Amino acid sequence: MAVRRSKKKCLVIGGCGFLGRHLVEELLERDYTVNVFDMRSTFEDEMVTFFIGDLCKTEDLLPAMENVDIVFHCASPAPSSDNYQLFYRVNYEGTKSVISACKEAGVQRLVLTSSASVVFEGVDIQNGSEDLPYASHPIDYYTETKILQEKEVLKSNCEDLHTIAVRPHGIFGPRDPQLVPTVVDMARKGKSKYIIGDGRNLVDFTYVKNVVHGHILAGESLDEGSVTCGKAYHITNDDPIYFWDFLSKILIGLGYAAPRYKIPYTLLFYIALVVQFFCTLLKPLVVIKLTFSPMRVALAGTHHYYSCERAKNDFAYKPLVNMDKAIDLTVQSYAELRKKD
């Protein structure tokens, strides 16, 4: 008689990262058995089996996929890196390795963490649905390879491997290495006094626990014949907020002053483009990290918020934590970044 496993087993690729580790914690809460695959180790948990390797190598992935029901692929190089080769290798070629490893190991469900930015070209998007076309001029290399990656995952959906792409936007929460630390760094350097544009551009910032909830529901939905197979889904807080109100709440919560002085969006965007051009010319001699890259200026000065109706309809998604509570929990978790008197 075949032995029936009672618990579902999953693998989180990128499980030592910000989103990945929150996903691991919630999967354990919901009684899944969890494997983690990552190229680095950032925490220990006796309930988790860790595999260290490079996702671009199928042979590294295979041992981690043994008897796995659902693979969550949420690994990527940091978006702030400017290295096209790295993005292409990990996000595109690496994702193809993940797909072949899933097929070879007999995994039936694959959930990709994509990004809502795959449709963003630097111009306003208001309540955008998943039917928007992919950006024909993506705002950076990261986004360009997230598009390639998502296309590959969705087209590999077949009878044996059911795939889905979750598109979060602006993830924040405890242990995020990117958003809150960057904003605080800017404040400490006196660069957070300015508002780009009129300050009334609405944006999705999504609390990490809501993103995790969306991923788990997406994975659970991938039954044979489900409408969700081969599709992309926005996962948001379903509560767009003025970009500058969000930043102000984080800054004030941590004891810093809110941005006050308005700079015209178009002016700053073109300045950022020119500065980026000179930085590229100087790259062989010196590497300069721009605080106001054209990508950041575009993200800070335009509307970009998305509808999550499809996720609500197809797998009953609804955010678990509202915006005020999410900001509060996030601010409380960053005691070390609080302004010292």
Ligand X SMILES: NC(=O)C1=CN([C@@H]2O[C@H](COP(=O)(O)OP(=O)(O)OC[C@H]3O[C@@H](n4cnc5c(N)ncnc54)[C@H](O)[C@@H]3O)[C@@H](O)[C@H]2O)C=CC1
Ligand Y SMILES: CC(C)=CCC[C@@H](C)[C@H]1CC[C@H]2C3=C(CC[C@]12C)[C@@]1(C)CCC(=O)C[C@@H]1CC3
Instruction: Show which residues are catalytic.
Output: 142
Tell me the H-state helices in the chain.
18-29, 58-61, 84-87, 94-105, 141-155, 179-188, 208-221, 243-253, 265-282, 294-301, 309-315, 323-333
Residue closer to ligand X, measured from CB, 56 or 271? 56
Q: How far is the CB of 43 from ligand Y (least distance, A)?
A: 22
Residue closer to ligand Y, measured from CB, 243 or 317? 243
Residue closer to ligand X, measured from CB, 100 or 271? 100
Q: Which stretch binds ligand X (CB under 6 A): 51-59, 157-165, 280-288, 308-316?
A: 51-59
Among 20, 173, 197, 214, binds ligand X (CB under 6 A): 20
Q: Which stretch binds ligand X (CB under 6 A): 53-61, 126-134, 289-297, 314-322?
A: 53-61
Residue 326's contacts (CB-CB under 8 Å, 6 or more residues apart) are 172, 173, 207, 209, 210, 237
Q: Which does 14 bind (CB under 5 to 8 A by kind): ligand Y, ligand X, none?
A: ligand X
Q: Would you count residue 312 as binding ligand Y (CB under 6 A)? A: no
Which of these, 153, 179, 147, 173, lies nearest to 78 by C-alpha position? 179
Tokens encoding 107: 């995994």
Residue 42's contacts (CB-CB under 8 Å, 6 or more residues apart) are 16, 17, 21
Site string for ligand Y, 64-83 (x = CB under 6 A): ---------------x----
DSSP structure class, residue 3: P
Q: How far is the CB of 338 from ligand X (least distance, A)?
A: 22
Look up residue 226 and give its amino acid: S
3 state SS of 29: helix
Query: How would you classify residue 170: left for phi > 0, otherwise alpha for psi between -120 and 50, otherwise beta?
Result: left
Q: How far is the CB of 106 from ligand X (least distance, A)?
A: 21
Residue 93, judged by CB atoms within 10 A of its CB (0-12, 13-18, 19+), counts as: middle
Q: How far is the CB of 292 from ligand Y (least distance, A)?
A: 6
Site string for ligand X, 170-189 (x = CB under 6 A): xx-----xx-----------
Residue 142's contacts (CB-CB under 8 Å, 6 or more residues apart) are 76, 77, 79, 81, 87, 91, 117
| Positions 88 through 147 that interact with ligand X (CB under 6 A) | 90, 94, 113, 115, 146
Q: How far is the CB of 174 from ligand Y (least distance, A)?
A: 16
Binding site for ligand Y (CB under 6 A): 79, 115, 117, 169-170, 178-179, 182-183, 292, 296, 299-300
